Amino acid sequence: MDFQRLAIQYKTELLGNVVPFWLNKSQDKEYGGYFSCLDKAGKVFDTDKFVWLQAREVWLFSMLYNRVEQKPEWLECARQGGEFLKKYGHDGFGNWYFSLTTDGKPLIQPYNIFSYTFAAMAFAQLGLATGNDEYTSLARQTYDRILERQDNPKGRYNKAVPGTRNLKNFALPMIMCNLNLEMEHLLGKEFVEESAVTLIDEVMNVFYRPEYGLIVENVNQNGSFSDTFDGRLVNPGHAIEAMWFIMDLAERLDRRDVIDQAQTIILQTLEHGWDKKFGGIFYFMDAKNHPPQQLEWDMKLWWVHLETLIALLKGYHLTGSEENLHWFEKVHDYTWKHFKDTESPEWFGYLNRRGEVTHSLKGGKWKGCFHVPRGLFQCWQTLEKMTWRQ
């Protein structure tokens, strides 16, 4: 495999197509922040502002500034979004709304803990980029708020009757694996190393179910399997994304055993989640192969495929497994063929089972300036490391 050629392909797509798309099309020059609902050509079709996507774009442009090149327009893009978020994104008591109107009025209450995690990630990276303590302390305060809320992340919006079926969800420990590394400069080496032990155990020994060889999205509070719709739910893209977070953490801690386990889970999940008929990775599955509740279970989503490419390359880089290269080739071909729009920049997000585009948008309520550019960046960087070794 020609790692050098591939590294250039990922880098060129990132810097030549995707980053300029968001830089030029998404910024709201009137009120600040970003539009994320952009049609095929990049035209705004809805002006609501979703805090997940506002924060992720602040993070992305800060990260590019910190790690690729100190371009003033990247910093300014991140900074203006950060100012909008700082001013309108929370309720003044550290609670991050889910969405805002174009001029910053709160629309949807702070029911979603991931608005907090992406805000923390955004302000930590923007603090690094600007050296501005105000951003750094906002990141730190938000992190503390996440810890306070982590045992009941939905708070008063939790619809489960207490005591009947207390499940815990995979997404938060998974995101914390990534967030702690993102914020190590603020949280300290010791904290990150200590909490990593618990996080790795939670992800690899509790949510990973050896009887199925899969990670499930929900388990009972005591860590046992729940034979219910929620307990059987498998989200292959989610599990695979978590595995590269885990690999980053394990590499940082020099835990070879954990790297090997993550590598095994990536391949098992792909084997299970790959659509043998039409190609691509399913969105949702049921661990016991019952019909999933989600109507969209057989769709192919952009982020699933980009996260898988990252995981396969990191896995190869760390373990040298040839199987990763075979899978990478297959997923790479599918991804570039189906998600890349050859007519205008940024990628499609949503395909049906056959790989046909179902939503022509380039951004919406859930798709913003995040998985495509982060995926291209991570693949480019890992491929470059591999060329050094060749």
Least distance CB 157 / a copy of itself (angstroms): 6
Instruction: Report the amino acid identity of residue 171.
Output: A
Spatial contact of 81 and 19, defined as CB atoms under 8 Å apart: no
What CA–CA distance (Å, rounded) separates 388 from 3?
10
Residue 299 touching a copy of itself (CB under 8 A)? yes
Residue 92 touching a copy of itself (CB under 8 A)? no
Least distance CB 339 / a copy of itself (angstroms): 15
What CA–CA distance (Å, rounded) separates 276 from 255?
34
Map tokens 């889910």 to a residue: 98
Residue 344 touching a copy of itself (CB under 8 A)? no
**Given candidates 69, 295, 388, 389, which one binds a copy of itself under the rule CB under 8 A?**
295
**Given candidates 291, 342, 343, 390, which one binds a copy of itself under the rule CB under 8 A?**
291
Residue 166 touching a copy of itself (CB under 8 A)? no
Residue 376 CA to chain centroid, in angstroms? 13
Least distance CB 44 / a copy of itself (angstroms): 10
Q: Which stretch binds a copy of itself (CB under 8 A): 123-131, 196-204, 319-327, 360-368?
A: 360-368
Q: Is 370 helix (H, G, I), strand (E, B) or coil?
A: coil
Least distance CB 176 / a copy of itself (angstroms): 24
**Given candidates 73, 271, 296, 329, which one binds a copy of itself under the rule CB under 8 A?**
296
**Given candidates 228, 320, 329, 344, which one binds a copy of itself under the rule CB under 8 A?**
228
Q: What is the dihedral angle through the alpha carbons of 12, 17, 20, 22, rounded to the nearest 10 degrees?
A: -120
What CA–CA distance (Å, rounded) separates 143 from 135?
12
Residue 24 touching a copy of itself (CB under 8 A)? no
Quick one: 46 or 341, whose CB is closer to a copy of itself? Answer: 46
Quick one: 278 or 336, whose CB is closer to a copy of itself? Answer: 278
Residue 157 touching a copy of itself (CB under 8 A)? yes
- Which residues pair with residue 50 across a beta bridge? 99
Quick one: 88 or 245, whose CB is closer to a copy of itself? Answer: 88
Spatial contact of 100 and 90, defined as CB atoms under 8 Å apart: no
**Given candidates 212, 229, 278, 336, which one binds a copy of itself under the rule CB under 8 A?**
229
Residue 260 touching a copy of itself (CB under 8 A)? no
Two tokens at 218? 């929900």
**Given candidates 31, 98, 114, 336, which one binds a copy of itself under the rule CB under 8 A?**
98
Least distance CB 19 / a copy of itself (angstroms): 23
Quick one: 154 or 385, whose CB is closer to a copy of itself? Answer: 154
What CA–CA distance (Å, rounded) separates 65 from 322?
34
What CA–CA distance (Å, rounded) separates 129 from 131?
6
Residue 93 touching a copy of itself (CB under 8 A)? no
What CA–CA distance (Å, rounded) separates 274 from 317?
22
**Given candidates 1, 353, 384, 387, which one binds a copy of itself under the rule CB under 8 A?**
353
Binding to a copy of itself (CB under 8 A) within 180-199 occurs at none
Q: Which residues of 245-267 are buried (b: 16+ CB within 10 A; e: fewer)?
A: bbbbbbbeeebeebbbbbbbbbb
Map tokens 């609902």 to a residue: 37
What CA–CA distance (Å, rounded) separates 34 from 102?
9
Residue 106 touching a copy of itself (CB under 8 A)? yes
Binding to a copy of itself (CB under 8 A) within 47-86 occurs at 48
Q: Where are the beta strands (DSSP E) in 62-155?
A: 99-100, 106-108
Instruction: Report the amino acid identity of residue 168.
Output: K
Q: Which residues of 77-96 are buried (b: 16+ CB within 10 A; e: fewer)?
A: bbbbbbebbbebbbeeebbb
Least distance CB 163 / a copy of itself (angstroms): 8
Residue 167 touching a copy of itself (CB under 8 A)? no
Residue 290 touching a copy of itself (CB under 8 A)? yes
Least distance CB 282 / a copy of itself (angstroms): 11
Instruction: Report the amino acid identity of residue 293.
Output: Q
Identify the DSSP state of 157.
G
Residue 297 touching a copy of itself (CB under 8 A)? yes
Map tokens 């399997």 to a residue: 225
**Binding residues vs a copy of itself (CB under 8 A):** 37, 39, 45-46, 48, 97-98, 101, 105-109, 111, 156-157, 159-161, 164-165, 228-229, 290-293, 295-299, 350, 352-353, 358-361, 364-365
